[in-house]
Amino acid sequence: MITNTERDLICSNLSRGENGELLFASHNLSSLAEKYGTPLYLYDESKIREKCRAYMNAAKDFFPSGARVMYASKAASFKRLYEIINEEGLGIDVVSVGEIYTAHLAAFPLERAYFHSNNKTDTDIKYAISMGVGYFVVDNAEELYAIDRIAGEMGKKQKILLRITPGIDPHTYAAVATGKVDSKFGSAIETGQAEEITALALSLPSLILYGFHCHVGSQIFDADVYLATSKVMLEFVKDMQLKLGYMAYELDIGGGIGVRYVADQPTPDIRATLRSVAEAMEKNARELGIALPTVCFEPGRSIVADAGLTLYTVGTVKRIPGYKNYVSVDGGMADNPRYALYGSPYTLLPVARRVGEDKMVCSVVGRCCESGDILQEGVTMPEDIRRGELIACLTTGAYHYSMASNYNRLGRPPVVMLDGDRDYVAVRREGIEDLTRLDI
């Protein structure tokens, strides 16, 4: 019979040592905390590579030749990660000049980059073109005109995809649902704006329209969402062929496959999901009488999330009899704002011991001067948890380092990579001197 503690080891790279201490990628967490301090972001390099290969192999095995996988940089962006992504053969999607520059410093070939964003400035556009970014994913007509003008001034022809809104509700968090008609992203098929922007793109001289892009949301556990989305998009491809005489070369169906944050969530099967999508898309294309465009995917969270773990040290433990218990740690919303933003669920575990019969339910909170600085409510911890103990927050590889801030003038934690028996710093800890580096 599975115990509650065993049930909470939700990722395959988690285990307990003989003394009951939590291990991550077979590394002793207490030793890492002693070596690097806390808060501490840890990344399991082998897990990142495993997920990259799952996508790349599925794309090769199930889709026609040329299918592409682009890592969605916004999930986590730093030089070493781009090096790993490049070594594994993926492309990248980027959403800012900062991500472009970081990839450039990592010697990532930017012709394999897709530049997203619903509001690219003229400076962004000029920089991306000058850096040789392969594709722009264009959100709206104003952006089309701007890219055409700037590319023309630079004597370039820029390859683009158009971001299309298919009108699919993924039944996920409202804050991460992006495929509905009223989304801030893309041009909706239902309103006729998708057809209008396609015609406009074809008319502009400095643009090369390669195809269409869509992304309906994140934390998707049901393959049916992708089946519905790809069907709508292929019907749109056919419609544009009939109405405008244009046949898309590429169809990018985005990312969004979910990850397991708590035991009650399933463990998605990337390979099975992509197989079912491939079979459905080929069937839909045959029925529509069109050739299937080159299919592209943009996974982010599902590549890095369970490759990450964050370590904290307990500071104060506050008990309010008859009301509530608080366990405060040395991090919080500055290094993980996702609970404050979305109410995102997490699994938090004591590192040095299992939770036994003597336990309490508490709120694990951060050190910021902010009542909303909460990492998770309703967490079970040992009744006698005390100052100096370590707590691990699981599945933190996505949207933690990338969303971290200096709120309350706190330095961001370091990123330490774990590779076999080796551990090494990929991003150093910010010190107090870093916090004033830009002050004049």
SS3 165: strand
Q: Are 152 and 205 in contact (CB under 8 A)?
A: yes
Is residue 369 flagged as an active site residue? yes
Distance of CA 114 to the CA centre of its chain: 15
Phi, psi (deg, nearest 5) at residue 387: -55, 135
- Which residues pair with residue 14 across a beta bridge? 24
Q: Check residue 414 and give left, alpha or beta (phi > 0: left; psi -120 to 50: alpha).
A: beta
How many residues are listed for the chain in this entry?
440
Residue among 11, 52, 214, 369 flagged as catalytic: 369
Dihedral sign for Cα 10, 77, 54, 294, please. Answer: positive
- Closest by Cα among 39, 48, 120 to 83: 48
Measured CA to CA, the distance from residue 28 to residue 199 in angstroms comes to 58
Long-range contacts of 63-68 (CB under 8 A, 24+ apart): 63/274, 63/278, 63/281, 63/295, 64/282, 64/292, 64/294, 64/295, 66/294, 67/294, 67/295, 67/296, 67/297, 68/250, 68/294, 68/295, 68/296, 68/297
DSSP, res 104: H
- CA distances to 31, 43, 220, 304 from 28, rounded to whole Å, are 6, 14, 32, 20
Active site residues: 369
